[in-house]
Amino acid sequence: MEKLGWKIKENEFLKSDVEQNGSRYLIGNGYMGYRGTLEEFGKEQLVALNMAGLFDRNGDKWRESVNAPNPFFVKAFANDTELNVLTANIDSHEQVLDISYGLHSRNTVFCVNDTKVSIKAERFLSMANENLAVIKYSVSADKDTEIKINTYLDSDVWSINGDHFEVTEQTKQDDISVLKLMTLENKIPLSLYEYINQDVENPIKIKAGETFAFVKVSGVYWGEGILNSLDTFKQVNKDYDALLKEHKSKWNEIWYNSDIEVEGDNEAQFALRYSIYHLNSIVPRNTYKCGIPARGLSGQVYKGASFWDTEMFMMPFFSFTDASLCKNLVKYRINTLAGAMRKAKEFDFDGAFYAWESQETGDDACSLFNVTDIFTKRPMRTHFKDSQIHISADVVYGLWQYCTVSGDYSLLEEGGLDMMYQCLFFFYDYAVYKPLKNRYELHSVVGPDEYHERVNNNAFTNKMVKYAVDALVSALDYAKNNMPQLYEEFLLKNDISWVDEFAQKLYIPQPNENEVIEQFDGYFKLEDIGLPEIRSRELIPHEYWGGGNGLATTTRIIKQADVVMMLNIFRSEYSKSVKKANWEFYEPYTEHGSSLSACAYGIVATEIGMADWAYKYFMKTATVDLTGDTKQYVGDLYIGGTHPAANGGSWNTAVFGFGGVSYTNEVLDITPNLPESWKSMKFKLLWKDVRLDIAINGDDVKITADKPTDNIKVTVNKKEYKF
């Protein structure tokens, strides 16, 4: 793979890269994502038009997101030879993704006997009209050739856990092919339309040097969106250049607000933009009915579900670049509160226990047996679903961060206050009061490090719950002063007498004499081994290190940043020496077995003067979807796809780490820490509805604002900045 400005490019076709390139060359517009496969591919090559927010369950298999029929399927034949990179003779091949506006293209020259036949295709999922999938496809040859084109909406799709729809209608209305489907479980309708601007039904004769080109515009609509969709689709101006122009102009707007320019380091610049490209491609833009899946829109891995990844890794990017997108993500959680309350009841608790793996209703898609034992092939009892309780605090964190950064508290009136209360009521019910210590503790939990299950007082979890309960106290205070009606109605429904006491008496593990915070009670007593040792104990590659008897469970080896994640989130509350002590203590034990891990180590490293490590971890998180250097299997479970949390982590490391951006409710501070190779860094931040243009040149910081700045306070190196 080559990087050229805003493009990535393959210069040859390698069968072994098909799966990886499917993720690398992904395009998306928030409504749907399309894997970077080639037009002639089918389900064996993992082609997928992955739909955001549309889920289905086949029998008793895992419920997962739906891959819709493939609108980009095209098979071309030259003198009856199929032009397929998997079977034909290839003279040259290029695959390109232009991340400046999500344009995928390929250019392949085949040798068909003594004729060179070339295929060019260019496609995009429109950012301007989220229902449209557009492709321009052309064939040319150096000798007179007969071409046949086979293109249709291919409903024979890749699906991990069984088929998800039945075809209910396949017709042609005037010049539009109509394909109607229905999902199996909830009978949700899906309609696809296809318009082709040329006759491709009959063989086409081209002369040497001539090109035959056609444009195909497909419309994809589901659920309520199918109402009048055929009429809507008919009215679309289907001119390729016009469609591309409006698509590009939307992407230009997106980049205007979210780009980061780095001078002096092309590798980092590209990786950062590539991360931002992914975040912008997968975020739902016009709805709050779905979240961002852990593998983006690159397929059905992780069941298309949203995890804590959204709040803790991706939301900072959206809250600081496009608050309306962030607001939708928070509203998605508010909208799924009922599911979270059902889950709490299922485990005999009050309040709201959010889904570890959340789909459209908020019911948990995570199973109690989420990993298959690689030795026995039996389902293994895991505790992600019932014990990873920090998710409810993460959800509160997302809401309260949105309010803090945007200065917009209106969500409290739109169910946000109820959501916060229910999450905290769950924690209050879950907590154990220890009378002799006169404190509340949280027992039998799973922290971010999933290799140690059902532990007591995981520092990260306790601290997140403390943040959440403090946020509830602040939100109640805000409502009391600014939303009296909401406050009164709230008090009529809810008892808040326990809140202050819970906030004061919740136990937060503290640094020991060496300034290290124990990850959970008893962690220090575990076997002290390093990563080479644990690897040498593996009996089978990919064996799962967690679960009841995984290799890591009796040792200090951890899957991902846990205490260090806490120090990253609560950067301003811990001293430099505590951060350093913990970073150095935990780093050798950390597998980074999750792509969520590197950014936390990167950000904290910027704060403790470990510039080389900071850069190394930044590059690790920012290049994860370029290098493909991540786990593809856990046990025998395929977990490939894109890594949006790491993409968010790369923005976070750049802005919070190198840019040195930190904030409280009152003030935004910029204390830069640029890596040596970065001459300058330029980016925009939306702070309390004022868009700041920030240019960092070494230690020099210049900020301009798009509005009067009377209502905001900004400091540079902790000194007030005069605009």
Which residues have a catalytic role annotated? Answer: 450
Give the x-and-dash track for 493-532 against ligand BGC (CB under 6 A). Answer: ----------------------------------------
Interaction between residue 451 and ligand BGC (CB under 6 A) = no
For ligand BGC, give the closer residue by CB, 345 or 454. Answer: 454
For ligand BGC, give the closer residue by CB, 34 or 308. Answer: 308
Instruction: Considering only residues 619 through 648, tell me which ones interact with ligand BGC, judged by CB under 6 A.
Output: 645
In angstroms, the CA 700 to CA 713 distance is: 18
Interaction between residue 594 and ligand BGC (CB under 6 A) = yes
| Binding residue (CB under 6 A) for ligand BGC from 31, 165, 307, 618 | 307
| Binding residue (CB under 6 A) for ligand BGC from 309, 373, 418, 607 | 309
Instruction: Considering only residues 551 through 580, tell me which ones interact with ligand BGC, judged by CB under 6 A.
Output: 559-560
CB atoms within 10 A of CB 245: 12
CB atoms within 10 A of CB 667: 15
For ligand BGC, give the closer residue by CB, 635 or 660. Answer: 635
For ligand BGC, give the closer residue by CB, 344 or 366. Answer: 366
| Binding residue (CB under 6 A) for ligand BGC from 204, 337, 596, 599 | 596
For ligand BGC, give the closer residue by CB, 309 or 607. Answer: 309
Instruction: Considering only residues 263 through 282, tell me which ones interact with ligand BGC, judged by CB under 6 A.
Output: none
Please, what is the minimum distance in Å from the beta carbon of residue 601 to ligand BGC? 15
Interaction between residue 448 and ligand BGC (CB under 6 A) = yes
Give DSSP secondary structure letters for 360-382.
Answer: SSS-B---SS-EE-TTT-SEE--
Q: Which one of 196-204, 274-282, 302-310, 686-694 is the stretch in contact with ligand BGC (CB under 6 A)?
A: 302-310
How many residues touch ligand BGC under the rule CB under 6 A: the total is 12
Give start and end residues of each alpha helix (H) in 134-265: 229-235, 240-258
In angstroms, the CA 192 to CA 222 distance is: 9
For ligand BGC, give the closer residue by CB, 294 or 506. Answer: 294
Interaction between residue 310 and ligand BGC (CB under 6 A) = no
Q: With the C-alpha atoms ordered 102, 63, 447, 630, is the resulting torsion angle positive or negative?
A: negative
The single-letter code of the amino acid at 222 is W
In angstroms, the CA 429 to CA 267 distance is: 49
Q: Which residues pair with 111 in a beta bridge?
A: 89, 116
C-alpha to C-alpha distances, 441 to 300, 430, 475, 720, nearest whole angstrom: 37, 9, 24, 40
Residue 421 has which token pair? Answer: 């209360």
Interaction between residue 599 and ligand BGC (CB under 6 A) = no
Please, what is the minimum distance in Å from the beta carbon of residue 70 to ligand BGC? 26
| Binding residue (CB under 6 A) for ligand BGC from 274, 302, 683, 687 | 302
For ligand BGC, give the closer residue by CB, 67 or 647. Answer: 647
Nearest to 375 by CA among 554, 532, 555, 551: 551
Cβ atoms of residues 114 and 172 within 8 Å? no
Contacts of 95 (CB under 8 A, 6+ apart): 9, 10, 13, 21, 25, 36, 38, 104, 105, 106
Nearest to 316 by CA among 644, 575, 606: 644
Residue 589 DSSP class:
G
Cβ atoms of residues 35 and 299 within 8 Å? yes
Q: Which one of 99-107, 301-309, 407-415, 460-468 is the stretch in contact with ligand BGC (CB under 6 A)?
A: 301-309
Q: Map residue 544 onto helix, strand or coil.
A: coil
Query: Site residues (CB under 6 A) for ligand BGC?
Result: 294, 302, 307-309, 448, 450, 559-560, 594, 596, 645
